[in-house]
Structure 1
Amino acid sequence: MRGPRAAVRRPSRVRARGAAIAAFVVLAAMVPAVAVAAGPRQAAVELPYVCTLPSGQRPVTVRVSAAFPDRVAAGEPIRPADVTTAVEFPAEAVADLAASGAAGVQAETRLTVAVAQNDARAQATWRGTAQPVVLPPSGPLTLTATGDVPTVTGQSAGELTLSAAHLAVDITPSAADGATGAPTAFTAECSLAANAPDSGLLAGVMVGADPSGSGSPSASASPSASASASPGGQGGDPADRQGERAPKVTGDTPGGTGDRPDAPPCKYDAGYPARPQSLNAYITGYSNVKKLKGAALIPLTCTLIEQGPPEFIPYPDWSGGTIKQHSTGDLYNGGRKASQPITATFLTFGFTPTTATMVLEQTGPVTIDSLGATNFVFTSTDTWVRVPLVLKVTSLTVNGTPLAVGPNCRTGKPLASPEPDPANHPGDHLVLYGRGEQVTGEPATGYLLTSGGPLTGEVSIPAFTGCGAGGENIDRLLTASVSGSGNYLKQIQGQTCFVSAETPNPDECTTDLQPLKIPVPER
């Protein structure tokens, strides 16, 4: 928020310090690294997946290959090399694409890789881009994606394993010649099939000196002892439970910088051009699901914000005044107003392990209303963020068995929070609240629009509708398992990048005008 003498838009170093958030680090150190271990060995794994497409769920074959070192020292980074993710869609899926008017497709992949060492856990995202391809007249379609991936560093001796987990494939169809308008882009959300071998194990790398003094064992697609990684939504921390230090995951961000961890793109483009007061920032956090006694990690998601003009209203004696500001924004995920996919595992009804992949879809504008009071030395600011969101379930696995949810499984109404001003803000929507305080010239504490910080709220999850396939309706199952009130939500917004500045601040923005600061989720 900005206003006369309130110093809310602080000098760059002050804002950067004000954006720092004390929190536990889920994926540890955030610095670039290069693997230096010698003797890489190739691992190639073929895995069965089930993907949710606009026409329904389809079986898909995923082939992942990468080169890994034989053995590394504790604290020595491992960078998988020559990483390829090939996704083979069946003939039925190709026919569905052709029927929609597509002549070809281009795709990007996001493979969640669970990293495990002893009792410690972490997650990495392997991103890849596939070259555009023409749809074949018949038969399957294979999309082969390549790209750099984050490094992984084991913090102690013992085997470090990497296992494939959730896969998202962003598909952009191209129209056939003469067609009016291109078919709609979509994301295929994919989960490992129940018959996947070794729980999706890709490779194991030994960390630490070889106690026998003999040659090092090679990276293997089937190590003798492996631990399956827990998804990021079981209500437990991804760091260790018995004193183990979690493996570090570090890497380059698409588009621009080696000074921050892996993050999805967050950049204005031709379809969403920047304006004079445009900001962008990342958000992340945790959302409790009260009925399931657990929490789901909300992955890093981009937000695009347009600041409104601040209004300063002085006190009668000019000893200070109030500052109001109304801003708007949108979630941004590859052109869609939606979050990154959220994958979480809970014990349904207290005993059945259930893994769901979900997306929060925006159904109306994000509004950000700030009200500050200042005496020109001390400023306090209250901020309310409001956004209508529906929760869409894209895949579901119950006790290891995929359960078809269909393409339209979602809450029947938007998520709803208690609204402090219902007369001016009617309807169902999520409400998040944050308070920031600042002494002029000092770092801010709490939440401010430009520097970010924590926002909290409580949300009710409505009943589900449109869930099921093949004549089976599972609306009541999901409603009974998940829907209800009293679900606590804590969101962390990172430092914004003021993209329209004549000279963008290098402490806030990458060279290609993406947010430099990556927030860490807090409970």
Structure 2
Amino acid sequence: MRGPRAAVRRPSRARARARGATIAAFVVLAATVPAAAVAAGTREVDTELPYVCTLPSGQWPATVRISAAFPDRVAVGEPIRPADVTTTVEFPAQAVADLAATGAPGVRAAETRLTVAVAQNDATAEATWRGTAQPVALPAAGPLTLTATGEVPTVTGRSAGELALSAADFAVDLALGAADDGAAEPAALTVECTLAEDAPNDGLLAAVPVGPDPGGPDGSPSASPSPSGTPSRPGSEPADRQRERAPRVGGDTPGGTQARPDAPPCRYDAGYPAGPMSLNAYITGHANVRKLKGAALIPLTCTLIEQGEPEFEFYPDFSGGTIKQHSPGDMYNGGRTWSPPFEATFLTFGFTPTTATMVLEQTGPLTIDSLGATDFVFTSTDTYVRVPLVLRVLSLTVNGTPLDVGPNCRTEKPLASPEPDPAHHPGDHLVLHGRGEQVTGEPATGYLLLSGGPLTGEVSIPAFTGCGADGERVDRLLTASVSGSGNYVKQMQGQTCYVAADVPNPQECTTDLQPLKIPVPER
């Protein structure tokens, strides 16, 4: 069922435009470009760079190898879309000893972040290349190698001249433990690395000419690069002119649609029309199943939100005040209020591999309540997302044998979280909490409704009912192996798209008013 949408006063066009400007203040990168075969007119780059990485025992050298395919040349305003991007990091034996000292036999998951400096003429920008590596065991001797693929934003030159992309800082988030040890909360370690001073060409990955070929049909020359072959450093133009000419990270791809990874549709339609303050956003993350000592990945799910009017209340001495906001919304998947199906495999009772395909179905209103406090310089905001969700099992395989669960296999009531305000929010529902902080004039950190961020909580999974067919019931099997309390949940909400703006922000919305930002699940 669909939760009721609270009535919201239609703001004046001026106020709506001002809100749109607030939303537009959060700038995000374009999302990933799927791997593709190398086409004609491209050149492959394979660069090996020295780094210095900080581990618990100190700083150790590491080697990062980056391979990708870049176009030979692009026109002004045409996005550069790296293809087949792979990042491989090799940690030396000393670093492996550091990891082994934690007692973990391997790396269950690794997420990499490579900062890429983008420069053209006197202007610069930064992009972040994200990747995910497969689980690996720690070697008994020798180095540890992790190979990652993942998000690569587009980069667009806004003037003629060579556009250079150079590797800069590199980081790896490690979840330690054997790939199949089932630990609900594996040890975590973030390894920060900096480019070594002796890195060749200051980490240059590629220099792509932007503009017409001097030998092309029109005979017009492109801007000349600096004598060193790379763009000159900022400083020869005023700062506002540099920003105006800076390469754009993200934006439109040829054909008028934004480059981003495959994602389920997330747009308003005739069955769910947009309102005056409508937002949409993706959310994804992990939910632990404590009994099974494992976690399930909740897939990208669309949420449609009607942002509520903020309520301001000043302190008596006007030294600051509080800001309250209530926003209703819904999960939305092809006209239904549930998540896309997702699959999870666990070892039931510690030894039997069991694979279940499930969906989370919303059975009541989704609400987002924020309360902030500010002294006009520093603002902190606590946000609670509440939604009643029933877990439905669509199919089940135990030790390779399919079991017919029937059409009505689900938890007998909604998932339940500890509720901090039960008098005002009775009943069983999931509660997720996010906290955001912001200093005036600086980017926000943590979670805010508009910019997104991490939301965490704890949930109890009720007993199952209606599971089975032809007289063979599996309710008790699912209840015994899955149901229980203390299951940790961490979801990541992406940047919202303000669909009601007079001119939607292209850094937040696709041309058909879907969220541009695709969040990455974190543990």
TM-score range, shorter chain: 0.5 to 0.7
Alignment partner of 1:16 is 2:18: no
Structure 2 counterpart of 1:371, one-letter code: L
* Contact 1:454/1:493 (<8 A) preserved: yes
Q: What's the counterpart of residue 30 of structure 1?
A: 32
Q: What is the TM-score with the length of structure 1 in the denominator?
A: 0.58
> In the superposition, relative to structure 1, how do residues 353 and 372 fare at CA in structure 2: closer, same or farther (>3 Å)?
same
Q: How far apart, in 2, do the equivalents of 1:301 and 1:350 lie?
A: 30
Q: How far apart, in 2, do the equivalents of 1:311 and 1:361 lie?
A: 31
Q: What's the counterpart of residue 333 of structure 2?
A: 333
Deviation of 1:480 after TM superposition, in Å, equals 0.1
Structure 2 counterpart of 1:31, one-letter code: V
Q: What's the counterpart of residue 218 of structure 1?
A: none
Gaps of 5+ in 1: 21-28, 39-71, 76-150, 158-233
Q: How far apart, in 2, do the equivalents of 1:374 and 1:156 lie?
A: 42
Deviation of 1:496 after TM superposition, in Å, equals 0.2
> In the superposition, relative to structure 1, how do residues 291 and 436 fare at CA in structure 2: closer, same or farther (>3 Å)?
same
Q: How far apart, in 1, do the equivalents of 2:427 and 2:22 lie?
A: 39
Alignment partner of 1:490 is 2:490: yes
Deviation of 1:463 after TM superposition, in Å, equals 0.0
Gaps of 5+ in 2: 1-10, 47-81, 89-106, 111-131, 137-144, 154-251
Higher Cα Rg, which structure = 2
Task: Provide the identity percentage.
Answer: 75
Q: What's the counterpart of residue 161 of structure 1?
A: none
* Contact 1:359/1:393 (<8 A) preserved: yes
Q: What's the counterpart of residue 443 of structure 1?
A: 443
Alignment partner of 1:467 is 2:478: no
Q: How far apart, in 2, do the equivalents of 1:257 and 1:354 lie?
A: 40
* Contact 2:294/2:346 (<8 A) preserved: yes
> In the superposition, relative to structure 1, how do residues 371 and 12 fare at CA in structure 2: closer, same or farther (>3 Å)?
closer
Structure 2 counterpart of 1:412, one-letter code: E
> In the superposition, relative to structure 1, how do residues 335 and 462 fare at CA in structure 2: closer, same or farther (>3 Å)?
same
Structure 2 counterpart of 1:241, one-letter code: P
Q: What does 1:31-180 align with in structure 2 at a 5 Å threshold?
A: 31=33, 34-36=36-38, 153=84, 155=86
> In the superposition, relative to structure 1, how do residues 277 and 37 fare at CA in structure 2: closer, same or farther (>3 Å)?
closer
* Contact 1:391/1:414 (<8 A) preserved: yes
Deviations 1:359-398 (A, max 9, x none): 0000001011100111111111010000000000001111
Deviations 1:238-286 (A, max 9, x none): 6223334144488999x97342211111000011000001000000000
> In the superposition, relative to structure 1, how do residues 316 and 298 fare at CA in structure 2: closer, same or farther (>3 Å)?
same
Q: What's the counterpart of residue 55 of structure 1?
A: none
Deviations 1:24-60 (A, max 9, x none): xxxxx8235542369xxxxxxxxxxxxxxxxxxxxxx
Q: What's the counterpart of residue 239 of structure 1?
A: 133
Deviation of 1:420 after TM superposition, in Å, equals 0.4
Q: How far apart, in 2, do the equivalents of 1:472 and 1:340 lie?
A: 27
The alignment partner of 2:468 has SS state of: coil
Q: What does 1:160-309 align with in structure 2 at a 5 Å threshold?
A: 239-242=133-136, 243-248=145-150, 257-309=257-309
CA RMSD of aligned residues (A): 3.3
* Contact 2:493/2:519 (<8 A) preserved: yes
Structure 2 counterpart of 1:261, one-letter code: P
The alignment partner of 2:473 has SS state of: coil
Aligned residues: 327
Deviation of 1:451 after TM superposition, in Å, equals 0.6
* Contact 2:20/2:501 (<8 A) preserved: no
Q: How far apart, in 2, do the equivalents of 1:489 and 1:353 lie?
A: 23
The alignment partner of 1:476 has SS state of: helix
Q: How far apart, in 2, do the equivalents of 1:154 and 1:321 lie?
A: 48
Q: What does 1:309-328 align with in structure 2 at a 5 Å threshold?
A: 309-328=309-328
Q: How far apart, in 2, do the equivalents of 1:259 and 1:153 lie?
A: 15
Structure 2 counterpart of 1:463, one-letter code: A
The alignment partner of 2:490 has SS state of: strand
* Contact 1:235/1:293 (<8 A) preserved: no
Q: How far apart, in 1, do the equivalents of 2:380 and 2:306 lie?
A: 22
Q: What's the counterpart of residue 342 of structure 1?
A: 342
Q: How far apart, in 1, do the equivalents of 2:364 and 2:476 lie?
A: 27
The alignment partner of 1:245 has SS state of: strand
> In the superposition, relative to structure 1, how do residues 240 and 404 fare at CA in structure 2: closer, same or farther (>3 Å)?
same
Q: How far apart, in 1, do the equivalents of 2:20 and 2:379 lie?
A: 12
Deviation of 1:16 after TM superposition, in Å, equals 2.4
> In the superposition, relative to structure 1, how do residues 249 and 348 fare at CA in structure 2: closer, same or farther (>3 Å)?
farther
Q: How far apart, in 1, do the equivalents of 2:456 and 2:522 lie?
A: 11
* Contact 1:411/1:462 (<8 A) preserved: yes
Deviations 1:156-196 (A, max 9, x none): 99xxxxxxxxxxxxxxxxxxxxxxxxxxxxxxxxxxxxxxx
* Contact 1:9/1:450 (<8 A) preserved: no
> In the superposition, relative to structure 1, how do residues 373 and 357 fare at CA in structure 2: closer, same or farther (>3 Å)?
same
* Contact 1:306/1:328 (<8 A) preserved: yes
Q: How far apart, in 1, do the equivalents of 2:302 and 2:460 lie?
A: 24
Q: What is the TM-score with the length of structure 2 in the denominator?
A: 0.58
* Contact 2:380/2:438 (<8 A) preserved: yes
Structure 2 counterpart of 1:361, one-letter code: E
Q: How far apart, in 2, do the equivalents of 1:331 and 1:395 lie?
A: 22
Q: How far apart, in 2, do the equivalents of 1:504 and 1:378 lie?
A: 28
